[in-house]
A = this chain, B = another copy of it.
Amino acid sequence: MTTAKFRILIVDDDLSIRQMLSLGLKQEGYIIETAENGEDALELIPSFDPHVIILDIMMPIMDGYELCKTIPDISNASMLMLTAKDASLDIVKGLRLGANDYLVKPFHFEELLARIEVQLRNRFPDLSGQKTIGPFVLNEMKKTVSYNNNTLHLSPTEYKLLTYFLWNPNQTLSKEKIIIYIWGYDFEGEANIVEVYIRYLREKLNDNDHKQIITIRGLGYRLVV
C-alpha cells in the first residue's frame, strides 16, 4: 500500500491548504494534482484520472455540491469532502450527493491520511492495487485488464470504457452517460460511436452472444459479472 502510486486530486480555493496538503501527501508517496476551483477540476479529471478527490465544499466559482453531483459522471474516484462548518446537515447533504467521507476543518493530517487509506482499501481490498470483478482483474496502476486470466490488449478508449463498466458492474449505463464519461460534455459526434466501441469490446471478450455485455434496448448497456 505504501509503495503504490495512487493519484489524488486536491480541489480548494485556499492556496495555503492546497500547498499544505500537496506537500504532506507527496511525502507519503501519492501523486498529487491541485485545482483551485470546480471548473479547473473538471478539466483535469479526465487526463489525471485520480483515485481520490479531496474537495472543499465552500468554493467561489462552482461549489463543492455542484462538483459532487458532476464528478460521478466523469470519474470513478472516491470523493472526500472538506468543510469549515460543523453543520451536520451540510455533511448529510454531501454524503447523500455521493461523497464517500468528509472531514471538518481544522483536522489532523494523520486523520486525513487514515481516511484516504480507508477509501483506497475499499476500492482495492486486496492491497495490491488490483480489483477483481467477476472474471475481470483491473489493475489501475498498470492500466491493464485481464479476463479469465488472459491480459486483454485494449486501446485507450476501450480501456476507459471497460473501466467504466467495471466500476459500475451490473448497472445499466446509458449511451449518454458513457459518452460524457469518455468524451466529455462537449462531444459533438454521433451516439453510434458507443455501439462501435461496445462491438470492439465484445470482440475482445469473445462475447458473441452478448451475454457478458448485454444490450438493454432503449436504455443502454450492462456488464454482467
| Chain A positions near chain B (C-beta within 8 angstroms) | 88-89, 91-92, 95-96, 99-101, 107-108, 110-111, 113-115, 117-118, 122-123, 125-126, 141-144, 155-156, 159, 170-172, 216-220, 222
User: Would you mind naming 28 contact pairs between A and B with Cβ atoms under 8 Å apart?
Assistant: A88-B107, A88-B110, A91-B111, A92-B108, A92-B110, A92-B113, A95-B111, A96-B117, A99-B118, A101-B101, A101-B118, A122-B122, A122-B123, A125-B170, A126-B170, A141-B171, A141-B172, A142-B171, A143-B172, A143-B216, A143-B219, A143-B220, A144-B172, A155-B217, A156-B217, A156-B218, A156-B219, A159-B219
Minimum Cβ distance to chain B for residue A116 (Å): 10
Q: A222 vs B171: C-alpha distance in the bound complex, in angstroms?
A: 29
Minimum Cβ distance to chain B for residue A167 (Å): 10
Q: Chain B residues near A115: list those with CB within 8 A.
A: 95
Cβ contact within 8 Å between A155 and B110: no
Q: A156 vs B217: C-alpha distance in the bound complex, in angstroms?
A: 7
Indicate how many identical chains form the complex.
2
Minimum Cβ distance to chain B for residue A197 (Å): 14
Q: Look across to chain B and name the residue whose beta carbon is closest to the beta carbon of A218.
A: B156
Contact residue among B92, B111, B142 (Cβ-Cβ distance under 8 Å from A222): B142
Q: Chain B residues near A122: list those with CB within 8 A.
A: 100, 122-123
Q: Chain B residues near A222: list those with CB within 8 A.
A: 142
Q: A10 vs B92: C-alpha distance in the bound complex, in angstroms?
A: 21
Minimum Cβ distance to chain B for residue A183 (Å): 14
Q: Look across to chain B and name the residue whose beta carbon is closest to the beta carbon of A94.
A: B114
Contact residue among B118, B143, B218 (Cβ-Cβ distance under 8 Å from A95): B118
Cβ contact within 8 Å between A92 and B118: no
Q: Chain B residues near A219: list those with CB within 8 A.
A: 143, 156, 159
